[in-house]
Amino acid sequence: MLDLQTSILLCAAAFAAGGLNALAGGGTFITLPALIFAGLPPVVANATSAAVVLPGYGSAAYGFWSLLREIKPAQWFTLLTTTVIGAVAGAQLLVGTSDATFSFLAPLLVLLATSLFALGSKLTSFLSKQGSHRPWLGVTGIGITSAYGGYFNGGLGIALLAVLQLYRSGDNDHSLGALNGMKSAISFVLTSISVVVFTLAGVVQWQIALLMMLFSVAGGYAGARFSLRLSSESLRRFVILLGLAMSVVLFYRFLVLD
């Protein structure tokens, strides 16, 4: 049972994460460290964090519904089949990871996700310029990214949007809006699958996750409302600094406190 102070910390973290995800992404940089410092074992904290951000992916995919109609059923079948296989593999890998190993990997994963976030526009631009008629590269990238997302959710949106540029450079010339919709839909599907795997393995603290979900949704709504008042570049820099700071904090916890 959480004490009042810890409950307030987790609710505030979930609210802030929901706002960040609505504005620029990076919510996992807040929820994962908060759950670890609340006393949850690292693997349980990561699984619970995935459950917390799940509703936001669903609402985002719903918002892109009209654009998602550009995608043909056969393309959805290929993408979602690849996503399911990757997500199950990544989630199963997390379930089999010890807390000691994940404590070591967590700061590295946050640092990797921060790097993906920082290089996001350059990465997607580079991939979109790659040769045409190679959609298999995009599908392969989605499978690998889905495995990454099933294991660790941080930076997932940026990674998916980057590999979808490869898919776009082939025979499937979809609009950027449709790619954003695909990113949200794939994120929702793979996170749903990973959360199911985590739940069956008993590594999700649902009492905590459900409480945080409410505040994450509220934060997402607040973030969407205020999005037009903020400089996207300033917010991007803040998320990058936040990711770097959380990496340092998790490194310190692993090296000094554990």
Per-residue model confidence as pLDDT tens digits over 101-154 = 988 888 888 888 778 777 766 766 666 665 444 566 677 888 999 999 999 888
Q: How far is CA 192 from CA 36, 83, 174, 256, in A?
A: 22, 11, 25, 34
Q: Considering the entire predicted model, what is its pTM?
A: 0.81
Q: Which residues contact 154 (CB under 8 A, 6 or more apart)?
A: 26, 28, 29, 32, 109, 110, 112, 113
Backbone φ and ψ of 250, nearest 5°: -70, -35
H helix runs in the chain, sequence order: 4-23, 28-37, 42-63, 65-68, 73-95, 99-118, 120-128, 135-151, 156-168, 176-200, 206-226, 232-252
Which structural domain range is residue 75 located in? 4-257
Q: pLDDT value at position 231?
A: 66
Q: Is residue 194 scored above 90 in pLDDT?
A: yes
**40's tokens:** 């949850």
Q: Is residue 59 scored above 70 in pLDDT?
A: yes
Q: pLDDT value at position 202?
A: 95
Determine the distance from the C-alpha atom of residue 18 to the mean position of all C-alpha atoms in its chain, rounded to a whole number: 12
Query: Per-residue DSSP letters for 100-116?
Result: HHHHHHHHHHHHHHHHH
Confirm if 161 and 187 have CB atoms less than 8 A apart.
no
Say how far apart CA 86 and CA 148 lie, in whole Å. 8
Q: Is residue 177 scored above 80 in pLDDT?
A: no
Confirm if 250 and 42 have CB atoms less than 8 A apart.
no
Q: Is 211 exposed, middle or buried (0-12, 13-18, 19+ CB in 10 A)?
A: middle
Say how far apart CA 30 and CA 243 lie, in whole Å. 8
Confirm if 88 and 193 have CB atoms less than 8 A apart.
yes
Say how far apart CA 258 and CA 255 lie, in whole Å. 6
Of 169, 21, 49, the closest CA to residue 106 belongs to 49
Q: 28-37 vs 206-226: helix axis angle to the nearest 10? A: 150
**190's tokens:** 């793979």
Q: pLDDT value at position 227?
A: 58
Of 135, 166, 154, 141, the closest CA to residue 194 belongs to 154
Residue 227, helix vs strand vs coil: helix
Calculate the average pLDDT of the chain. 81
Q: pLDDT value at position 131?
A: 47
Of 226, 245, 220, the closest CA to residue 32 belongs to 245
Q: pLDDT value at position 97?
A: 94
Highest mean pLDDT among 65-74, 213-222, 241-250: 213-222
- Residues 32-51 have a mean pLDDT of 92
Q: Is residue 183 scored above 90 in pLDDT?
A: no
Highest mean pLDDT among 21-30, 51-60, 195-204: 195-204
What domain count does the chain have? 1
Write out the H or E segment, with its range, that includes residue 252.
Answer: helix 232-252
